[in-house]
Amino acid sequence: MKKLLAVTSCPTGIAHTYMAAESLLKTAGEKGIPMKVEKRGALGVEDELTEQEIAEAHAIIVAADTDVAEWRFEGKPVVRAGVAEGIKNPSRLIEQALAKEAAKPAAGAAEPSSTAAAADRSSQRKGAYKHLMTGVSNMLPLVVAGGIIIALCFIFGIKAFEEQGTLAAALMSIGGGAAFALMIPVLSGFIAFSIADRVGLAPGLVGGMLASQLGAGFLGGIISGFLAGYIAKWLRTYIKLPKALEGIKPILIIPLFSTLIVGLLMIYVVGTPVKGIMDALTAWLTGLNSANAVVLGLVLGAMMSFDMGGPLNKAAYTFSVGLLGSQVFGPMAVVMAAGMTPPLGLWLATVIAKHKFTKEEREAGKVASVMGLAFITEGAIPFAAADPFRVIPSTMLGSAVTGALTMMFGVTLQAPHGGIFVLAIPNAVTHLASYALAIVAGTVVTAVCVSLLKKRKEETVPTQAVIQPGSVHSN
């Protein structure tokens, strides 16, 4: 009997990771195929694949948007896909894995077919996104912890941290002085780590620290991460030493020269122009007039809801998180509200239009409501996967309305995650009542649109079985 393994991982490590794992396990079970899934989530590695299991596996599915140490699978047939594919198309991934194993060439066989080569090239094109998301994934705990600690500092007053020796000052030192100070170096370091493995970490961290010191912000951190990763990788590949000296290459030669090259590039080439771009972006965002602010909120809101944790969603979130270090807090308020709206709207739709949903979908709606309150947009994925052409436009419209209203009301948010559970912190969010109104408005718009567009359940032919997200881990 063929045995398959899989690895799932998403940038935040909260929802997609576990939903993809559950979907793959459920589908494999229905097909009678033994499978083990390693989950690389926010809590670390769960159900880690052992060397023996990898050796015995017929093929491995990697449904991930971050680095998952694929070097472990060298010589084994591997099917690569984004984590969202693991949720939406588990059957296809499993069939591909079985077919890939069946077509595995023997030693000395001809090169793979042009179709397989094209698939491999397609997976390579996703490399830059994977590297970026690996950096974002490792940066997020610092941003979340730092942002919430800064918000707690404001319980004592907006300016209370300026008085030295107070608890407020200590909280600001922890959140702003330490956690936020590490944000860009960690982003840069783990982008480089994803590209070049351990030899990329040192130049990546140093490049990120220089980006922070030079005022190049998160854009500088992204650039330094890619520079460090590819420079370290190039040095590792092309520096050839006698066998007796190979041991010093990863601990002396590569770190020294890669860090020196990246540092000089950041100081003399990259830092100043990128700082100018960040300064211009910050000035533009802080000086937005009402009409432009509404348009920005509308666009960010729609991006959050289009792929619900996919590339566009993560691009909007990363953009907003990066601006926190520049003291620009409006976009963060937009993406959190717009990310809460889809699952809340779909829950409301299951309440006001019960006849258009199955009993299982109505139960999934209850789970989605909790996920929405916690700012886990992925709670809407089961509904979007089952009926994308009606659900996705509805959620995009609702999130766009929420985003536009949030910017129009001038709401700002200090905490980058947590949903409704961080809104109770005094001064974490401005214009709290208006913010709540924007979220409610988007929720209602989503629910009404879904209710109007969906047919009665007995008339609907689902495109995908609804995935029960009950085992999703959340913060």
Rg for the chain, CA atoms, rounded: 24
* 158 to 112, 428, 430: CA distances (angstroms): 62, 10, 11
Residue that terminates a domain, selected from 125, 148, 171: 125
What is the C-alpha separation between 475 and 376, in angstroms, rounded? 9
Q: Do 201 and 327 belong to one domain?
A: no
The answer to whether residues 47 and 67 belong to one domain is yes
In a domain, residue 285? The reply is no
pLDDT tens across 179-197, in order? Answer: 888 989 999 999 999 999 8
Is 271 in the same domain as 301? no
- The active-site residue, picked from 4, 5, 7, 10, is 10
In a domain, 466, yes or no: no
Average pLDDT of the residues in 223-247: 89
pLDDT of res. 123: 42
- Identify whether residues 357 and 271 lie together within a single domain: no
314 shares a domain with 270: no
What separation in angstroms does the CA of 459 have from each of 354, 357, 358, 422, 456? 14, 11, 12, 41, 5
**10 belongs to the catalytic site:** yes
Considering the domain boundaries, does residue 421 fall inside one? yes
CATH code of the domain in which 41 resides: 3.40.50.2300
> What number of H helices and E strands is found in the chain?
20, 5
Highest mean pLDDT among 90-104, 169-183, 222-236, 377-391: 222-236
Count of structural domains within the chain: 3
Three-state SS at 61? strand
Please report whether residue 344 resides in a domain: yes
* pLDDT at residue 30 is higher than 50: yes
Among the three residues 125, 155, 171, which one is the final residue of a domain in this structure? 125
CA dist list (Å): 430 to 114, 235, 330: 56, 49, 10
Quick one: pLDDT at residue 117?
37
Share of the chain above pLDDT 90, in %: 38
Q: Out of 109-118, 202-211, 316-325, pick the least confident.
A: 109-118
In a domain, 468, yes or no: no
Instruction: Establish how many alpha carbons lie within 13 A of residue 474's alpha carbon, considering only the half-sphere containing its beta carbon.
Output: 21
Mean pLDDT to the nearest integer, 199-211: 95
Tokens of 64: 């991930």
**309 shares its domain with 451:** yes
Q: For the whole prediction, is pTM greater than 0.75?
A: no
Q: What is the pLDDT of residues 229-238, one digit of tens each?
A: 999 999 999 8
Indicate if 455 and 352 belong to the same structural domain: yes
Do 98 and 182 reside in the same domain of the chain?
no
SS3 40: strand
**357-384: average pLDDT:** 84
Measure the CA–CA gap between 155 and 158, rounded to whole angstroms. Answer: 8
> To which residue do tokens 């009542």 refer?
433
Domain that holds residue 399: 290-459
Q: Name the domain boundary from 238, 258, 279.
A: 279
What pLDDT does 223 receive?
A: 94
Quick one: 244 and 268 in the same domain?
yes
The pLDDT tens digits of the residues spanning 71-122 come to: 889 888 999 988 888 888 899 999 998 887 544 543 333 334 333 333 443 3
Q: Answer whether residue 474 is part of any domain.
A: no
103 and 151 housed in the same domain: no
| Residue 260, pLDDT score | 96
Residues 138 and 230 both lie in one domain: yes
Same domain, 234 and 294: no
Could you identify the residue written with the tokens 């309305």?
Answer: 401
Whether 284 is covered by a domain: the verdict is no
Partners of 37 in beta bridges: 6
Q: Which residue has the tokens 């730092």?
A: 146
Q: In the predicted model, is pLDDT for residue 409 greater than 90?
A: yes
Tokens standing for residue 270? 């990259």
Q: Is residue 467 part of a domain?
A: no
